Amino acid sequence: MSATAAPSRFPMGLRYMAIGAFFFSLMSVCVKLASRHLPSSHTVLARGVVTLVLSIGVLFARRPRRPLREMLGHDKPRLVLRGFAGFVALNCFYYAIKNMPLADATVIQYSSPVFTALFAAIFLGETMRRVEIVCMALSFAGVLLVAQPSFLFDHASSTPPLTFAIAIAGAIISAIAYTTIRRLRKTDHADVIVLYMPLVAMPLSIPAVARDATMPAPVEWLLLLGIGVTTQIAQMFMTKALVSEPAGRATAVSYLQVAFAYAWGLLIFGETPNALGILGALVVAVATIGIALFKQPVAPSA
């Protein structure tokens, strides 16, 4: 009996989510390392190029089961909006990774499901329960504990307020992208929705890259390739997890990415979080999981 009990305690779907969270954390490490000498625009373009190639490959591999017109998408205005919002959010997130502790940037980005719940209620007519409003307040309080602004704390964070503002903007704009995905699930296949993120982001990245053109060193080329590959692997495993597991359980495991971020920050970048920052991360985690228990899952991609 014990031989069959173990899988039920940690089913395959949750294992997929844990693997996805690990690879997303590796993506963040690659971004932070590459951003030491490269502008954020270069890392955004690298992710766009690699994921575009891989996404097209996935679509054509499944083409015998899907007409070509479906591969181009049905609701193109919303697909483009999803891609544009994802592009802006990604720039904000990568800027935050470059300019603040890795764990702090990850925690703030992970508050996006709370904003998604709000936008889904406003724009999609989804019901917002009292517990979700409480979770939103908790998430905001958690972000304040991570940010530790000088007007509230005697020992303020050394990160400039503008950097925190950009990080929070990234989470909010990610929520716009996720809300759009909720609507697109009624008209387009998940592979098509994933495709439009790099399809829109790649050309939008080119002007900034041309303005700040910097030739990567050989190691940086590997890091740029790693950003795209780890992102694609993470999305693949997280999508599998969200298909097979309830939203609350899957989101709970996905928050391992924050734990990984704290570990990488300490081991690789020498970032030591304080007690308030850790408490803030726990508060955001509770709020995010609470939201997930009452909402359908949306795979993170920005």
pLDDT exceeds 50 at position 147: yes
Distance CA 256, CA 133 (A): 24
CB 128 within 8 A of CB 146: no
Distance CA 113, CA 236 (A): 19
Burial track 237-252 (b if 16+ CB lie within 10 A, e otherwise): bbbbbbeebebebbbb
- CA atoms within 13 A of residue 116's CA, in its CB half-sphere: 31
Query: Domain spans of the chain?
Result: 12-292
Instruction: Please tell me the predicted confidence (pLDDT) of residue 10.
Output: 56
Instruction: Please tell me the predicted confidence (pLDDT) of residue 245.
Output: 63
pLDDT in tens, 18-34: 898 899 999 999 999 99
Q: What is the mean pLDDT of residues 282-295?
A: 76
Closest CA to 87 of 145, 48, 139, 126: 48
Q: Given pLDDT bands bounded at 50, 70 and 90, which one contains residue 122?
A: confident
pLDDT exceeds 90 at position 230: yes
Mean pLDDT estimate for the chain: 82
